[in-house]
Structure 1
């Protein structure tokens, strides 16, 4: 083999190695580009999640003391479930352990006994449904729905509509399997007649609208009852006329007070101020309370007497003129 052939084979070998290296570099470059794209997508998704869902401080749920009250126990379990959703807590066993931290008083004593049974292996409470079942078995009152139905049947609209709607709503929450039509019938049937007629006139077809309309009725009636009632002419006629005439009658009549005894029970009513002045002297009193009324009456009588005398003189003169000479 000549020298030239050796050189050519060496070049061919180097060229093949270079081509293989270039192929490997292309493959690695593609892999790096794919990984970089994945990293970019992950980072952008985290940034978007940070901007779209800001961290909100979740309020702590209320504690449960073990009171045998259906509404209080239902509210406790419902708030705990909302709390788990807010903090994204999905593990069943962790939910149970978290809920037991909010038990106090009698509820704490109950859970200590149940926890001892769990350690002994006599019972298992490792899911949220099992915890709800056990706590309701211990603290949930018996026949809650039955007693609520009886109370709803006996409930009557005796006071304000606001109180009636409040009591009906509380009973309704304790009855889970009552139909909407039956609830509406009970609500309408227990109302007073005037309220039931008004709701039927407005054509309510569901319970929510009936409650809203009922609350508006009580507001309307309260607004009317709070308005002051102005005295009418009929009331004045039935009550004895105008106050000014009563004051005048008390001055011109007897001096007996309201008690009917002389010298006692003086009239303490305020003196009435007339709207118009006296037309005789332009004073701030009625014409019949004119201070010089007696003198005025005397002058009127004197004028009447003078007028009668003048009339008599004229009649005598006419009679003399009529006599024949």
Structure 2
């Protein structure tokens, strides 16, 4: 019986010791938690006191400024608080200039609003992000929550934003663009584009910038800048702005001697040409005298026999050997052609034909002043016994497809 009591007592003592140890551990843990909570509260109270002191100082400063302004402005003067415009939204365009302008605008806005803490800036900056930039911040925000990304300072935020949206070769591209820039429009447009591109580059010497600026100018503008002996880029820009560019002034409408206005149209090869608008100023004016070619009641330039003169002159011109007889020969050919065409002229305008002798055979030839050679049908050539050399080639007439030629007869010459 005594032995059993001793065992019970020992067991009770062991249980009491265990309970005591557990209680001590719990008490120690509670003490540590209380100390941590106390320290946290003390820190928060200290921060709150600092903020209160800062706000109090700012209130005193604003009040002092308000009082000073009221004293200088007189009684009854009211002052409205300064309204700071918000910076533009950024949509994630990969452009170095846009990114730097966005970050600079944010910093200016935060400074004007008195937001100096990094945490406040990081929490407010994403409200100005849109589209792909907002998607980037969503990913960064999830990484911050998981502890993958360390983004706690404003400098880290700017670094991550530049790393994502600023092209790695932005500086090289800007330098290449500056070298390729040319003065093609007005001088003011060239200066604007040059200065904008120059601001995208950080390390450009003034002499290099001056060289690029003058190298891109047109020749006449570059000569004028060199004549003024400028030494810096600012002097070159000021000199270029003072140059009067006459090449870009609006031109007067073009008219010819007959009063027909010509409007510029776009050619297939890109160059300018002009077409008649057929809007004559005075259509009732009669010809001053009859046509000297056929004595008809029309202008000489509208004579239907004018093409025949050109064809005959082109054909008979090489036969005149002596230069002194050129004028007399021209008069004779003109008189002969006038006699031939006056009798053959009909009231109805149509194709012009001439009687020709080809290989001692009489034929009718169609007159075409735009033709480069004399052309003859193959069947007709075989009928009158013309020998020709087979050759390969094509001929092209107006509004027709190119056709293959059978050959050429180089020794044959038609005559009247």
Q: 1:256 aligns with which of 292, 298, 303?
A: 298
Q: 1:188 aligns with which of 214, 224, 237?
A: 214
Distance 1:41 1:114 in 2: 39
CA RMSD of aligned residues (A): 3.3
Q: 1:160 aligns with which of 186, 190, 198?
A: 186
Q: 1:65 aligns with which of 73, 91, 108?
A: 91
TM-score by length of 2: 0.44
Note if 1:144 corresponds to 2:170: yes
Distance of aligned partners of 1:49 and 1:195 in 2 relative to their CA distance in 1, 3 Å threshold:
same
Equivalent residues in 2 for 1:81-160 (5 A)?
81-160=107-186
Equivalent residues in 2 for 1:1-325 (5 A)?
44-48=64-68, 55-217=81-243, 219=245, 221-223=247-249, 226=251, 250-254=287-291, 255-257=297-299, 258-261=301-304
Q: What stretches of structure 1 move > 3 A for 4+ residues in a row?
A: 40-46, 49-54, 218-223, 225-231, 247-250
TM-score by length of 1: 0.55
Q: Contact 1:62 / 1:76 at 8 angstroms: preserved in 2?
A: yes
Please say which structure displays the higher CA radius of gyration: 1
Q: Contact 1:162 / 1:218 at 8 angstroms: preserved in 2?
A: no
Q: Which residue of 2 aligns with 1:243?
A: none
- 1:24-59 CA distance string (max 9 Å, x none): xxxxxxxxxxxxxxxx99965552267898522111
Distance 1:218 1:142 in 2: 40
Greater fraction strand: 2
Distance 2:108 2:214 in 1: 34
Deviation (angstroms), 1:172: 0.9
- 1:118-175 CA distance string (max 9 Å, x none): 1122222222211110001011111111111122222222333233223322321221
Greater fraction helix: 1
Q: Which residue of 2 aligns with 1:310?
A: none
- 1:75-120 CA distance string (max 9 Å, x none): 1111111211222221122112221110011111111111111112
Distance 1:108 1:214 in 2: 43
